Structure 1
Amino acid sequence: MSSIRPWRTIERRKSRQIMVGNVPVGGDAPVTVQTMTNTPTSDARATIDQIRRCEEAGVDIIRVSCPDVESTAALKEIVRASTVPIVADIHFHYKRALEAADAGAACLRINPGNIGSEERVKEVISAARANGCAIRIGVNAGSLEKDLLEKYGEPCPEALVESALDHIRILEDHGFRDYKVAVKASDVFLAVAAYHALAEAVDCPLHLGITEAGGLIGGTVKSSIGVGSLLWAGIGDTIRVSLSAEPEQEVRVGYEILKALGIRSRGVRVVSCPSCARQGFDVIRTVERLEERLQHIRTPMSLSVLGCVVNGPGEARETDIGVTGGGNGRHMVYLSGVTDHHVQDEGMIDHIVRLVEAKAAEIEATRETVPAAAE
């Protein structure tokens, strides 16, 4: 496809690969989607319930906060219950890092230069190595070291990159290379510039994010611009969309960014019009209900929902299933780009859901039989 449509090609930055639990990050591995729980980690049941919702949304890796001993004590149960790798954020407390590693965390989120003496750093690295933990260095414009703020006067790309390189050097000096790095900021321009500079300086995997991005709408826009532009440039091996919203919403937005760029595909990609006076049915409400009812579909496929016949037939020809508005409450349904049958207003949403579920089952059945036929 890329040879036919070169304007769709994204050439990914070549990074070395590490493992976060059983999930490869970097190299030629798929860009992974992460989120973070917001329940008290010490409440294992509430945290596991939230992780379960994120797993259903498709999360690849999930981070939990471990600010106290009660949290790391609950971590062992949480790790056992999770089907995805757990990253423990230990908040400068090196003992929490040791406890989290022993509890089964797949990755520790630390800044090696901020956890104290050289001896403490050695202990954390030894615990990570002994337990097969990766490490994520998390540089943030809001918590830069005082000496860097004095040197540069304010958070800037150079300060973020210098901080990251300082932390990297500590791990490298101890022969530890299973790390990934983030240089986050709430300012899109600052974050993007820092990631571009860091991508030129190192070969480790990069974790992308626009931190403190905002609420569901504002944060989605900021993250789509920042994270999306970096991914488009080939930078980034794993992402987190930081929203003042439930973690599963972060996962869904993350996948939408990846789907828009053709990097990963999961679930139903909906093509729909903004609606106008020509619409033959209530497009906005129909799309809202379909998106809600089709969240359980994991099979990559496309659905077009267009209110009239101006652009509808053209869009429907490019999707697996399509519906275009017609007159008198009678609408055309397209299957695999071909006009197939009409559907009335009443029961239209139920009808489309059944078509999508049937198409997903058909695709999955084909996937299962193709390898068997090849053998």
Structure 2
Amino acid sequence: MTEVSNAFHPHARSVHDLLFAPGSRGVLIATSRDPDAKRTFIMTPPAGTYVDGPAGPVAIKIPVTAAAATAISRETRMLIALGEADLGGLGLTIPRYLETLDSDGLPAVVTTVVRGAPMSVGYHRWLHTSRRRPVAEDFALAGGWLRQFQAATAGDRARITWASEVADQLRARWPGHPRLEAAYLRLTAADRQLKRHRVAKTIVHGDYWFGNLLVNDGRITGVVDWESGVRAGWPLRDLVRFALSYCLYLDRHTRPGQQVRGHNGLRREGFGAGIKYGLLEAGWLPDLVRLYLRTGIDAVGLPSGLWYGAALIGLGEIAATANDDGFAANHLELLAALPHWPMAEDLSGADAR
């Protein structure tokens, strides 16, 4: 089975048949009010429900809207593709597709459960992001898993057109926005740096942020929510997304106008102060951000000096694709306000590869 259209059809059994089967037990663990809102249950079905599946709990993701159904179909295709890939031990960290159910005419997906607590739990714990050691551990975990995954899924090499692709998406979404041209100029500058180079395309998660990484006993035990994934994409996308999201919420628990504990020079002032701090300022956290980006870029065979241009493109991608208009617009304006390159930084990109 390689296509969702084969897995979901009008006569698929109902999600209610599984949720309310005699002896089944479950709990709702996540719900949302987004345009693509979904409800996620963890439940233990009756023994023997899945002959080739787990004896324990499974996860069921149920769409609330038509947009959510489309997202679930995308994720199902990705999970099937991941299940067919040769990932070695990493395969245990990715949910395995089991079945597509009918939820009032929309597809609901059933997968195995990967265990662990979201990295976001530790991130929001008191003083976690104020201390170098736990932050360094988070970056090391995220970067280490990603490097292994990219090495396992590397395919054909291609000249990097990521910046121009994002620029086209940005123009299509934000025609007439007063900050569009300024943002476009930053993407053009990044494109000049990256398009000289070639890189192996990999499977891309597409939303590789700390809320989608599960951690247990000092290691990544799960990577979930693959609905934004692609089978052959630019590996820099996931690398950059983690760094940007990690920086974005540094001031979440700080009052407006106040300095963020543990980070000299960072105050909660407007949107994206943590991102500007992580990319442009001095301090132990900006040092970790740049080390993480440089290490990841070097690992895919590119000059590490491309880190800043990649970060600009990552901001543009969020502005172009985020499902919340306000969140996307804030990233567009943040991109437009950043310098084309950081001061006193060599972004020549070394020799083209």
Q: Which has the higher contact order (CA 8 A, sep 6+)?
A: 2
Q: What TM-score do the two structures reach when normalised by structure 1?
A: 0.22
Q: Who wins on radius of gyration, i.e. which is larger?
A: 1
Q: What TM-score do the two structures reach when normalised by structure 2?
A: 0.23
